[in-house]
Structure 1
Amino acid sequence: MTGLDAKFAAGQPAPQDLWEMDRRHALHPWTNFGSFEKDGALVIARGEGCYLWDAEGRRYLDAVGGLWCTNLGLGRKDMAQAIADQAERLAFSNTFVDVTNEPSARLAAKLASLAPGDLNRVHFTTGGSTAVDTAARLVWYYQSCRGQRQKTDLVAREHSYHGSTYLSQSVGKRPGDRVEEFRYMEAGIHHLSVPNPYRRPEGMSEEAFCDFLVAEFEDLIARVGADRIGGFFAEPIQASGGVIVPPKGYLRRMWEICRRHDILFIADEVVTAFGRLGHWFASEDVFEVIPDVITCAKGLTSGYQPLGAMIFSDRIWEVMAEGGERWFTSGLTYAGHPVACAAGLKTIEIIENEGLLANAAEVGDYFLERLQGLEALPLVGQVRGQRLMVCVENVGNKDSKEPLPDGANESKRISDAAEAMGLMVRPIGHLNVMSPPLVITKPQVDFVAETLEKAIRKVTDELVREGYRIG
């Protein structure tokens, strides 16, 4: 037994020991092997509200919100008690075929009551990736049940992120996610242009850009054939792809095209649901769209338990269930897990009782307004988003919108500088992304804006001294 193993067995690992155990044994999601083997990982020890503490006792305001998910904030005793009570009462019961449990049944009914239109059917999963994966297969299953077995092609957008299973990552297409060592499904999946107004062609109005995007979808349908396209996947706001808010009217028009051509519209609300934009779901309340399917996760349990859901329409159910002879042979051991569903029910109860949708709307508007003040800085090209979902895009030239060379690594350097000042933001390429808990306050927003400005100024000065041209 090594010295580290002995300390672990004795229950006495020091912060440095934990760091070393992780560095020696863990493969993290999206690991970069060079930096990980050199620097290891930041060991987080506890959380309360919007704050995290690392194993050394340093405190950070978590403006990332975990990964878009800690909507209620951390350390809530009422959430912990609900989870503990359910674990004691019934820690597990499978939901395969004809078995259910009370929290699963209650949460399915609650989600149906909150979802728009006739989205009254719920299939539970373990997270967002598996919800999207199941939604893709639902498209094939539904179209086959209708006698449209060839209507299997899927459409999504560039810069989209829909998960990390083989199928969900194939549907998504975010820069940097696709590496040559992995394989992806290519046949039957089409990707349209990213609806990013900031990067629209020079001289084109936002209205004309929207027309271009809509025409592109129509052209794809004409080329491939409406009889072959079964479903269209869209995040209402493309989250990890850069918090891309589409042009006004875009999603509604894309939805109308889907209805006209008998294509299922799948709204990937893994990030936007459960309050991030001040609503239970963004599709109808923000973008005037009633999808055929909604995928969700993250804020559903505020990160206290892993849980996802695919919510779909009665119309789809009725087609699949017609005749009563078919089997839907897809599911997961932990689908409808009673403890996870109890966490989902408690999350929704707290959001309702504490008025967190209204707080997300009020403080979220203030959050975006305060951060948009950063656009005055030479390194910042645009601050965009809605409410508690914001991105700072860094550029080398504000007029041309040309980014700095990748080697500048400015977004990671900004996040590192902010972290040293007690603030966590997420670097993605040339972006810094934020999605704080719904319980964030205006004074905490002020801290985020002021600290991030200091970090950006610090990194800008360093880059200029290194010879980079910024302006």
Structure 2
Amino acid sequence: METQAWQVLDRAHYLHPFTDHAGLRQTGSRVATRGEGVYVWDTDGKRIIDGLSGLGCVNIGYGRKELVNAAAEQMLELSFCQSFFKTTHRAAVTLAEKLASMLPEGLNHVFFQSSGSEANETAMRTIRRYWDLAGQPQRRVVIARELAYHGSTHMAASLSGIPPMYTAGGDIPLPGIVHIKTPYQYRHGPEMNADEFGIVAAGWLEEKILEVGADKVAAFFAEPAQSAGGAICPPMTYWPEIQRICKKYDVLLVADEVVCGFGRTGQWFGADHYGITPDLMQLGKGITSGYLPLSACAMSDRVADMLIEKGGEWAHGFTYSGHPACCAVALENIRILEEERIVETAAAELVPYFRSKLETFVDHPLIGDVRSVGLMGGLEIVQNKKTRESFPYEAKIGEACSTEALKRGLAFRANGDTMSLMPPLVITRPEIDTMFGIAREALDATAVKYDVM
């Protein structure tokens, strides 16, 4: 009765993000109770491998007491400190300094928020303010990509290239944002080799800049690899060509690293993996491994110096910008990542194994494409492998596969019909074996259900 009692309260009062609440009332929520390592338990006592790292955030796994202690110690010393009115505190300053030492060259200034959506809002306000101060106020258009996910606020949802989000209300997308195709080779260039496709896909940015007018384009805004879009991992030629195009037309390059940052790609940041230096870079999720809400918008000297030297008062901020406890947890999280060499170990030992296990699904009757970068992988379900035809949207086959996996003890995310895995960076090889074993069972059961085997 404990699960049912919580479900009754949940239905009565708690509205969930990205949820069909009428459907949820029929099924009831899974009620999580505790987590340890890569596992989460629910009120029925079921142990589930978190193949999603929460939502791409619990990089060092659940149950690390050091992060709890860091928060408690900071709260006892200074539970809150606003950053308005010429006030600062040591945790925020120390974290900003630490991040500046880790980020690509020139990103020396950091503004803190509580979520990735807020970090992307900050980036957009910064872009527009920068060009106003630079004497080019006509540069208002920001180019983003289809299937992008940048958050749920008005501006962040407008940047996102997922049309169903636009129906949530608010006349989204807002003006001044345009989208180009994403480097999704399975759909947009299967006949090309990867290096060739990367150059072609980057060229779509140049085409859009010329279409809009180079003197009107403010920035290109994109994730290094697209998580919610379905684990879309661009070829290695893509991002260097994007950077070249941005420099050619003096367009600011903005990297949304909310998911990719802090080890997801096998390096500390997606910018490191793809060899680029953005003008702005947003961080979140893995900055605290999800233990407390914190995000950051890092700015290059070029951008920050303009705001500082010419901008006067910057009328932007949040009550919880640089919250002491959140900053303290981030510092402890980074210390653990560094001292235990979690990112480096994952890159050397887990990423190749993860990729090899993922590639065993190439011959599965449901899987049309297998793709990954670091510990982010996608298995795209198709109705016809030869023609790459997808199942009808109404079939909801991805959701069906996710349900089958959860029954067997794996959180296996459906991004449309792409089944995505982003396990914590501390997962072990035996746990990877178990994770992929359940994933195969779930896909087999789904294939039987949809008469594909």
TM-score (norm 1): 0.93
Partner of 1:347: 333
Residue 20 of structure 2 corresponds to residue 22 of structure 1:
no
- Residue number among 290, 297, 309 corresponding to 1:303 in the alignment: 290
- Residue number among 426, 429, 447 corresponding to 1:460 in the alignment: 447
- Residue number among 128, 136, 139 corresponding to 2:127 in the alignment: 139
| Alignment-mate amino acid for residue 111 of structure 1 | L
- Aligned-partner SS, 1:99: coil
| Alignment-mate amino acid for residue 70 of structure 1 | V
- Residue number among 104, 111, 118 corresponding to 2:106 in the alignment: 118
| Alignment-mate amino acid for residue 429 of structure 1 | G
- Residue number among 375, 382, 385 corresponding to 2:362 in the alignment: 375
1:404, CA displacement in angstroms? 1.3
Cα 1:334–1:144 shift into 2, 3 Å? same
Cα 1:42–1:402 shift into 2, 3 Å? same
Cα 1:376–1:175 shift into 2, 3 Å? farther
Preserved contact between residue 199 and residue 241 of structure 2 (Cα < 8 Å)? no
- Root mean square deviation of aligned Cα: 1.5
After superposing the two structures, state which structure 1 stretch, 412-421 or 85-94, moved more. Answer: 412-421
After superposing the two structures, state which structure 1 stretch, 162-171 or 360-369, moved more. Answer: 360-369
Partner of 2:241: 253
1:26, CA displacement in angstroms? 1.1
1:36, CA displacement in angstroms? 1.2
CA distance in 2, matches of 1:302, 1:180: 29
After superposing the two structures, state which structure 1 stretch, 218-227 or 124-133, moved more. Answer: 218-227
- Residue number among 381, 392, 397 corresponding to 1:410 in the alignment: 397
CA distance in 1, matches of 2:149, 2:190: 26
Partner of 1:127: 115
CA distance in 1, matches of 2:262, 2:168: 36
Identity within the alignment, %: 38
Partner of 1:9: none
CA distance in 1, matches of 2:449, 2:201: 39
CA distance in 2, matches of 1:38, 1:426: 20
Partner of 2:162: 174
CA distance in 2, matches of 1:368, 1:175: 31
1:216, CA displacement in angstroms? 2.5
1:205, CA displacement in angstroms? 4.4
Residue 87 of structure 2 corresponds to residue 99 of structure 1:
yes
Gaps of 5+ in 1: 1-12, 465-469
Partner of 1:8: none
| Alignment-mate amino acid for residue 320 of structure 1 | L
Gaps of 5+ in 2: none
Partner of 2:417: 430
CA distance in 1, matches of 2:210, 2:51: 44
| Alignment-mate amino acid for residue 371 of structure 2 | R
Q: Map residues 144-163 of structure 1 onto 2, 5 A cutoff.
A: 144-163=132-151
Preserved contact between residue 266 and residue 373 of structure 2 (Cα < 8 Å)? no
CA distance in 1, matches of 2:189, 2:154: 33
1:188, CA displacement in angstroms? 1.2
CA distance in 2, matches of 1:363, 1:247: 21
1:181, CA displacement in angstroms? 4.1
1:69, CA displacement in angstroms? 0.3
CA offset digits 1:334-391 (Å, max 9, x no partner): 0100000001000000001111012221212211210221121100111211121111
CA distance in 2, matches of 1:97, 1:340: 20
Q: Map residues 195-344 of structure 1 onto 2, 5 A cutoff.
A: 195-201=183-189, 203-283=191-271, 285-323=272-310, 326-344=312-330
| Alignment-mate amino acid for residue 421 of structure 2 | M
CA offset digits 1:406-445 (Å, max 9, x no partner): 2332221211111111111111211111111111000000
CA distance in 1, matches of 2:116, 2:77: 27
CA distance in 2, matches of 1:175, 1:397: 25
After superposing the two structures, state which structure 1 stretch, 422-431 or 293-302, moved more. Answer: 422-431
TM-score (norm 2): 0.97
1:47, CA displacement in angstroms? 0.4
- Residue number among 428, 438, 443 corresponding to 1:451 in the alignment: 438
Preserved contact between residue 156 and residue 172 of structure 1 (Cα < 8 Å)? yes
CA distance in 1, matches of 2:260, 2:317: 24
1:204, CA displacement in angstroms? 4.4
- Aligned-partner SS, 1:178: helix
- Aligned-partner SS, 2:307: helix
